[in-house]
Amino acid sequence: MGNLKTFDVCERSVITPRILYLITRAVRGGAQSHVLDLAFAMQQNFEVAVAIGEDDFLSKACRERNILVHVLPHLQREIRPIADLRALWEICELIRGFQPDLIHAHTSKAGFLGRLAGHMLHVPSLYTVHGGQFGRPEVSRTWRFLGSPCERIAANWCERLITVCHEGARLARCCRIGGPYKIVTIHNGIKDSPDRANLTSDHPPVITMVARFCEQKDHNVLLRAIANLSPGPRLRLVGDGPLRAASEELARQLDILSRVEFMGDRDDIAFLLASSDVFVLATNFEMLPISILEAMRAGLPVIASRVGGVGELVVDGETGLLVPSGSVAALSEALASVMENFDLRVKLGRAGRQRFEERFLLEHQVERTRSLYLEVLAKCDKVRSGVNSLGAPETIGRIS
């Protein structure tokens, strides 16, 4: 289980609350970046640890930031009863060792097992919904049968269900998951960056999409839309994943491979977006994608599929253009309109940057989440003698 950091309660009169973040996968993605930003920011007021089912981007990034991290080898995305029972045991052992005052679980499998473990060991928990798994037609047959019932059960084990957009809250209510009092919407936020797009009209626009090559995203629609445009723009696809080879083959078949750059995973997203002219997210389903926030931060016009909570980020016609998911024709038309109109690109990009500053800075998300932590800790009688000057409980109960 790794080296668990333990403390003697009697050593000090004020004990900082402990938060355990739990997520299934560690690959580079929006949910992982969300957990990383939260865990790093919350270190100012809490002792934090992150538990993950694999060693990849998130675990390495946590170690670089001196965040305590634990890899739980049996915590996997797939439904495998024996492995899932072992993962539950690993989570329980970690809880007994780290003794968190609050569990904050993310993504479906970690969300279910983490809430169950917290319920069994009497540790309050929160669960953040990232992928819009309930009410979504694209999920697997197994999840359609098991997902919503499991989520309804697990909602009874946690104190709050956090959705990253209002659409997620609506889906939860439609699927009767958690009572209205349990559902809280906290929009995603990201930290600011000095990297800004320098939009000019002296070169053909560079179009960038940042996304994993997986079933959720729709790279193929974007490639077909690019093939419809003449003269063709340069397209940069940032990310990796199981469907990358298939997209590369499609680019060859469409005879556009010479103007499409497959860039793989990158850790310089802010720089890449600053050297772009247009951002595109072609996708089948989303809640509140971090990649669009990164594009708005850079001051880029955004063209995106009208799915999930994307409309809560992109104001159609004001900060970007929204198109029906899966429509090559609509995406081609939107791309053509921003390629041919430099003034429109500038207008949309500036408005997107202003909207980012007003609504989606990381500080907003962190403060709302921190307040929720303290509210839940107080509600669960974790606060026994008031709140100190930082707003953190002064004495915290530990698992016996």
Hey, do 9-189+362-379 and 206-359 end up sharing a CATH topology, with the first three levels equal?
yes
Tokens of 366: 């962190």
pLDDT over 60 at 341, yes or no:
yes
How would you class 203 by CB atoms within 10 Å of its CB: exposed for 0-12, middle for 13-18, buried for 19 or more? Answer: exposed
Cα 226 from Cα 233, distance rounded (Å): 7
Average pLDDT over residues 50-74: 96
CATH class of 206-359: alpha beta
Alpha carbon 394 to chain centroid, angstroms: 31
Say if CB 371 and CB 360 are below 8 A apart: no
Considering the four listed CATH numbers 3.40.390.30, 1.10.1040.10, 2.60.40.790, 3.40.50.2000, the one that applies to the domain covering 9-189+362-379 is 3.40.50.2000
Cα 396 from Cα 47, distance rounded (Å): 12
pLDDT over 60 at 308, yes or no:
yes
- The share of the chain scoring above pLDDT 70, in percent, equals 88
pLDDT over 80 at 136, yes or no:
no
Full-model pTM: 0.85
Cα 258 from Cα 252, distance rounded (Å): 9
Average pLDDT over residues 319-334: 98
- From its phi and psi, is residue 381 left (phi > 0), alpha (psi between -120 and 50) or beta? left
Tokens of 302: 């955004």
Q: Map residue 85 onto helix, strand or coil.
A: helix
User: According to the model, what pLDDT value does residue 142 have?
Assistant: 60
pLDDT digits (tens, 9 = 90+) for 183-239: 999 999 999 999 999 998 878 899 999 999 999 999 999 999 999 998 778 999 999
pLDDT digits (tens, 9 = 90+) for 145-165: 677 788 999 999 999 999 999
User: According to the model, what pLDDT value does residue 175 have?
Assistant: 84
pLDDT digits (tens, 9 = 90+) for 359-387: 999 999 999 999 999 999 998 864 444 44
User: According to the model, what pLDDT value does residue 83 have?
Assistant: 95
User: According to the model, what pLDDT value does residue 238 have?
Assistant: 98
Domain ranges of the chain: 9-189+362-379, 206-359
Q: Which residues pair with 125 in a beta bridge?
A: 103
pLDDT digits (tens, 9 = 90+) for 250-272: 999 999 999 999 999 998 999 99
User: According to the model, what pLDDT value does residue 79 have?
Assistant: 85
User: According to the model, what pLDDT value does residue 258 have?
Assistant: 94
pLDDT band at residue 140 under the 50/70/90 scheme: low
